[in-house]
Amino acid sequence: MLLLDSGNLLFKRKKIMDGPSQERLTASTIIEIYQDNGYDAVAVGPLDLAAGKAFIEESSSNGFPWVSANIMNSSGDLLFKPWRTKTIADTRIVITAITGSPHRNIPGIKILPWEEALGATLKRISEETEPQFIILLSSLKSDENKRITELFPEINLIISADLRLGNISPKLYENCLIAQTAKQGKYQGLLEILFGKQRIWGQDTVKVVADLQNKLGSLNWQLRRLTKKAAIAGNEDKYTNTISSLKKKKEKLDNKILSAKETLAQEKITGVLSDQYSNRFLGLKKNMPNDQQTIEKLTILNNQIKELHKKNKNNKNITKNLSKLTKDLVGHAVCETCHEVQAEFWKTTAHSSAYATLVNKNKSLDLSCLPCHLTIPPSSLNMQNLPNEVYLSYPEPLHSVGCESCHGPGKQHTIAPETSKLTSMPSETLCLDCHTPEHDDNFVYTTKLGRIACPSE
C-alpha cells in the first residue's frame, strides 16, 4: 500500500504571519498525524509554503516525507527529495512531485518552471532507478497536468491537488491516469491497481464480465415482463417493436460477454497484460471515530490554542480593531425591545445557541470556529481572511448568531427605524460563508431558511 498526498494540506491562506499562531500549531499537528499514519510521500503544495522556508524545512529535517522536484534554495539546490521509491508486488514505483506557483515571493525559495524541472528529474530517475511505474503528485492546474501527459509519456499516474476542483474519478489522457481527492480532509481516495505485464491502462476484465451480466439480467427481466404482458393483453402487435429492440440489445450484450470471457480465459493462461484499476472515495464524516493516538494529539492542540489565545485576548491592537468592527452593532437584546415575538422565536433556533456549542466543546477560543458562532456584520464575514484575533475579545452581548448576522448592523435602525431599514432576508451567499460543505454537507438554502425565518410583524 502507498499513502500519498499531493499537498496544500497545512494552511488555507497564502501567507501566515511570523510568530506563534493557531495556524502554525494546527499545521504542526497535521504533520505529526501524517507521520503517525505512515505516509510514504507528500508533495509540497503552494499553501504548504505559506509560513515560509524555515517552518517547512524544520518538518523535513524531522523526517516528514516531503517531495518536490522544483523547489530550490537561493544557492540553486533542491530543498526536498525530488522523488521517493517503493516496491510493491515486485513493481518498482517512483513518486515524484511538482509544486505549483505560490503567487508570491517567499524569501530563500525559488520555484523552477515545471517543464524544466520535470524533464530533468525524469531523466535522472530513468538513469538511477530503472522505474517500472511513475506517479506524479501535482499541485498544478488541470490543463497543465493534461499537458504533462503529452510531454512525458513515461508518467503512469498523476494525483493532482487543484484547489478549484473537488473529487475527480480517474480519467485517461494519453496513457496516463489523472485523479484527485477533494481538498483538506473531506474524503480519502482509494485507488486500487493491478499491475500487468505492460504499462498500458486497461479494464478489469472480471469486473467487465460482472457488469455486463448484470445488464443482461436486467434486459432479460424486461423481455419476460413485456412478453407476459403482451400475452395477457392479447395484443402482441402493440409490443412487437419494443420486444424486437430489446432482443437486439440482448444479442449485442451476449456477444460482448462472450468476448470478455474469452479475454478473461486468455489472461488466466498468459497473465494480465495491462494495468487495471478501480477507484472509490471514502467520505470522512465528522462523527467518525478517531484512533486514540489522534484523539490525544487533537486534545493537546486544542489546549495549546486555548493557552495561546488567552495571552492574546487583551492585546491593545485587538481591542482597537474590535471597536471598528462592532461600532454599529447593538446585540439581540436591543432588537428584542421592539421585536419581542421575533426574538422569542430566534431563541428556539440553533443560531441563538451557536456560541454555547463552542463553550461546551471547549472551542470558545478557536479562531477557525468563532466567526460563525458570533454576531458578525455580514460585510465583514470573509472566511478567506481568517483567522482574525479580534474575535477573541468579542463582547458577550454578541455571543451568538444574532439578528444582525442576517439583517445587518442595527445601530442606525434603532435611532431612525422608519428611514434606516434593514435587510429583511439574508442572501444564500451570506449563508454559504458559514454553511460550507465542510461544516454543513446537507445545506439547502430554502429548507434552512424556512427553519430560521422570523414570524411576520
The verdict on 71 and 187 lying in the same domain is yes
Q: What's the pLDDT at 314?
A: 61
Question: Does any domain span residue 309?
Answer: no
Q: What's the pLDDT at 99?
A: 94
What is the reported pTM?
0.73
Longest Cα–Cα distance of the chain, Å, equals 90
Reduced to 3 states (helix: H, G, I; strand: E, B; else coil), residue 278 is: strand
C-alpha cell at 66: 516531503
The verdict on 220 and 191 lying in the same domain is no
The verdict on 185 and 58 lying in the same domain is yes
Reduced to 3 states (helix: H, G, I; strand: E, B; else coil), residue 355 is: helix
Question: Does any domain span residue 40?
Answer: yes
The verdict on 106 and 196 lying in the same domain is yes
Domain count across the chain: 3
The verdict on 194 and 55 lying in the same domain is yes
- Identify the domain containing residue 220 by its residue range: 205-270
Q: What's the pLDDT at 383?
A: 47
Question: Does any domain span residue 91?
Answer: yes
Distance of CA 130 to the CA centre of its chain: 34
The verdict on 184 and 132 lying in the same domain is yes
Contact (CB, 8 A) for 257 and 216: yes
Question: Does any domain span residue 291?
Answer: no
Q: How big is the chain by its Cα radius of gyration, in Å?
A: 29
Reduced to 3 states (helix: H, G, I; strand: E, B; else coil), residue 129 is: coil
Which uninterrupted H or E stretch holds 240? helix 240-270
Q: DSSP character for 449? A: H
Q: Which stretches of 172-239 are DSSP H helices?
A: 205-233
Reduced to 3 states (helix: H, G, I; strand: E, B; else coil), residue 76 is: coil
Q: What's the pLDDT at 272?
A: 66
The verdict on 26 and 169 lying in the same domain is yes
Q: What's the pLDDT at 300?
A: 92
Task: Enumerate the β-bridge partners of residue 164.
Answer: none
Question: Does any domain span residue 47?
Answer: yes
The verdict on 136 and 189 lying in the same domain is yes
> Which stretches of the chain score pLDDT less than 50?
383-384, 386
Question: Does any domain span residue 290?
Answer: no
The domain that holds 178 is classified in CATH as 3.60.21.10
Contact (CB, 8 A) for 82 and 119: no
Q: What's the pLDDT at 133?
A: 93
Q: What's the pLDDT at 5?
A: 94
Q: At residue 26, what is the residue type?
A: T
Q: Hey, how many other C-beta atoms are within 10 angstroms of the C-beta on 298?
A: 14
Cα of first residue to Cα of last residue in the chain, in angstroms, is: 62
Of 27, 43, 184, the closest CA to residue 111 belongs to 43
The verdict on 320 and 432 lying in the same domain is yes
* Residue corresponding to grid cell 458577550: 396
What is the DSSP annotation of 161-176?
Answer: --TT---EEEEEETTE
The verdict on 247 and 370 lying in the same domain is no
The verdict on 318 and 265 lying in the same domain is no
C-alpha dihedral sign at 110, 115, 120, 125: positive
Q: Hey, how many other C-beta atoms are within 10 angstroms of the C-beta on 356?
A: 14
Question: Does any domain span residue 213?
Answer: yes
Q: At residue 9, what is the residue type?
A: L
Question: Does any domain span residue 165?
Answer: yes
The verdict on 88 and 71 lying in the same domain is yes
Q: What's the pLDDT at 80?
A: 94
